[in-house]
Amino acid sequence: MVYTDYESQLAVLRSKGNYRSLSSRIPQGKYVIAEDRTLLNLSSNDYLGLASDPLLRQDFEAWVGKRSYPLSASSSRLLAGNYPVHRQVERQLATLFGREDALLFNSGYHANMGILPALANKRSLIVADRLVHASLIDGMRLANAPHIRFHHQDLDQLERILVKESPKYERIFIVTESLFSMDGDITDLTRLVALKRSYPRVLLYVDEAHAFGCRGSHGLGIAEEQGCIQDIDLLIGTFGKALASMGAFVVCSSLLREYLINTARPFIFSTALPPYQVAWTSFLLERLATWDDRRAHLATISHQLAQALCGEEKAMGATHILPWVLGDNATCLQVARELDEGDFYCLPIRTPTVPAGSARIRFSLSADMTEREIATLSSLIQHMHRL
């Protein structure tokens, strides 16, 4: 049979504890509903708890008023799908970040898969942290350029690579995440900026997908916290996580924006984001700086859960992404089942999402969770630690 090989590969995935299926559970705010049970959802990226806020939705409907935003762009932006609201949001982003310009993409995956292939060529070198997201790995694979991946957060190794390789190439792209999606750790962007200044051919590419909205005094991310927004050539963010919308963006120079419009294939050949959805994004961006209380509460419960996972000392500086690394798939699946029985929805993360032998539970916190809920989860984790 023509499908036999696929069947056998699925059987291998099952045998290794790597088989996945779509959940029939229904998301409902910070919970998921499973028949007669309600579980706290710790597998969502709704970091500020905005996605199901009914008052926010009512405010948006009043804000929209009689303005008409189509539910579909029905075309790419280069054809007939370029609505004024698309450019409005790009200008909002440029103003928020204090940069020349910005460009929208349909998703973070689209952005990361399209930008590097558009900008890099055989005379370029891409140097990326080994644990960058799959979308960046795919972007590197599609780019017509050599690439090197340095050990996670090993900026000394990165510098050795720059010393050796920079004379050989017209430009080098340093690629990283600011807040890593599976480990929850933060990159020293200020040191990357220092390296960039030491090597004039370097461009800095930073994915802020998991930090935009929920870090920084105005919610602009780790680059805002570390005071280096102006030094990042390509700053990527997404709207589908903390901002509770859809799509992604790159903040960059006007020249790079113009070049990407003409060369980034996911942008050129995709139907544009729905104008109504983009209007929702615009509405949220107007209010981004006002959610300090949500960001502060998110930091509080992040520290609270980190204490249960790794103790007070290591809890300092904890982020809203907290991994419990368990090692093998079987153990990870068993722990996920036990957490589920305690009414906590925490999906196991396995290869190829994380390296083999580092399967984990990834706790993804939201600002609409209470300290009491996190205390109950912490007690369960501590009990499981003792077993």
One-character DSSP codes across 16-45: TT--------EEETTEEEETTEEEEE-S--
In contact, 142 and 113? CB cutoff 8 Å: yes
pLDDT in tens, 369-378: 999 999 999 9
At 355, is the pLDDT very low, low, confident or very high (cuts 50, 70, 90)? confident
In contact, 302 and 363? CB cutoff 8 Å: no
- Reduced to 3 states, what is the DSSP secondary structure of residue 197? helix
- The reported pLDDT for the residue numbered 353 is 83
Record the tokens describing residue 92, joined without a space: 């909002």
Mean pLDDT across 344-366:
91
- The reported pLDDT for the residue numbered 2 is 82
Record the tokens describing residue 354, joined without a space: 């994380």
In contact, 348 and 329? CB cutoff 8 Å: yes
Integer angstrom CA distances of residue 126 from 145, 158, 166, 387:
7, 11, 11, 45
How much helix, strand and coil, in percent to the nearest 5, is found in the chain? 45, 20, 40
Lowest mean pLDDT among 16-20, 51-55, 203-207, 294-298: 16-20
Amino acid at 362: R
State the pTM of this model: 0.94
Residue 37 phi, psi dihedral angles, 5° rounding:
-120, 150
Mean pLDDT across 324-348:
92
H or E element, residue 304:
helix 292-310
**Gap between the Cα atoms of 251 and 233, Å rounded:** 8
Give the CATH fold of the 18-48+291-386 domain: Aspartate Aminotransferase, domain 1 (3.90.1150)
In contact, 340 and 25? CB cutoff 8 Å: no
Average pLDDT, the chain: 95
**Gap between the Cα atoms of 32 and 44, Å rounded:** 10
pLDDT in tens, 86-129: 999 999 999 999 999 999 999 999 999 999 999 999 999 999 99
Just list the catalytic residues: 45, 133, 177, 181, 207, 210, 241
Going from N- to C-terminal start, the domains of the chain cover 18-48+291-386, 71-289
In contact, 363 and 315? CB cutoff 8 Å: no
**Gap between the Cα atoms of 189 and 254, Å rounded:** 23
The counts of H helices and E strands in the chain are: 15, 14
- The reported pLDDT for the residue numbered 313 is 66
Question: Exposed e or buried b for every residue in 320-338, given b needs 16+ CB within 10 A?
Answer: bbbbbbbeebeebbebbee
For residue 6, pLDDT over 80 is answered with yes
Half-sphere exposure for 170 (CA within 13 Å, toward CB): 7
- In the sheet that holds 37-41, the strands lie side by side as 26-28, 31-34, 37-41, 344-345
For residue 147, pLDDT over 60 is answered with yes
CA dihedral 368, 374, 375, 379 (to 10 degrees): 160
Q: Which residues contact 176 (CB under 8 A, 6 or more apart)?
A: 128, 129, 132, 187, 192, 205, 206, 207
Amino acid at 218: H
Q: List residues bridging with 345 in a β-sheet.
A: 41
pLDDT in tens, 49-85: 999 899 999 999 999 988 889 999 999 999 999 999 9
At 36, is the pLDDT very low, low, confident or very high (cuts 50, 70, 90)? confident
Report strand pairing: 344-345 vs 37-41: parallel
At 317, is the pLDDT very low, low, confident or very high (cuts 50, 70, 90)? confident
In contact, 217 and 226? CB cutoff 8 Å: no
Q: Which residues contact 79 (CB under 8 A, 6 or more apart)?
A: none
CATH architecture of the domain formed by 71-289: 3-Layer(aba) Sandwich (3.40)
Amino acid at 125: L
Mean pLDDT across 341-354:
90
At 387, is the pLDDT very low, low, confident or very high (cuts 50, 70, 90)? low
At 1, is the pLDDT very low, low, confident or very high (cuts 50, 70, 90)? low
Q: Which residues contact 136 (CB under 8 A, 6 or more apart)?
A: 112, 116, 128, 175, 177, 207
- The reported pLDDT for the residue numbered 315 is 74
DSSP one-letter code for 289? G
Stated length of the chain: 387
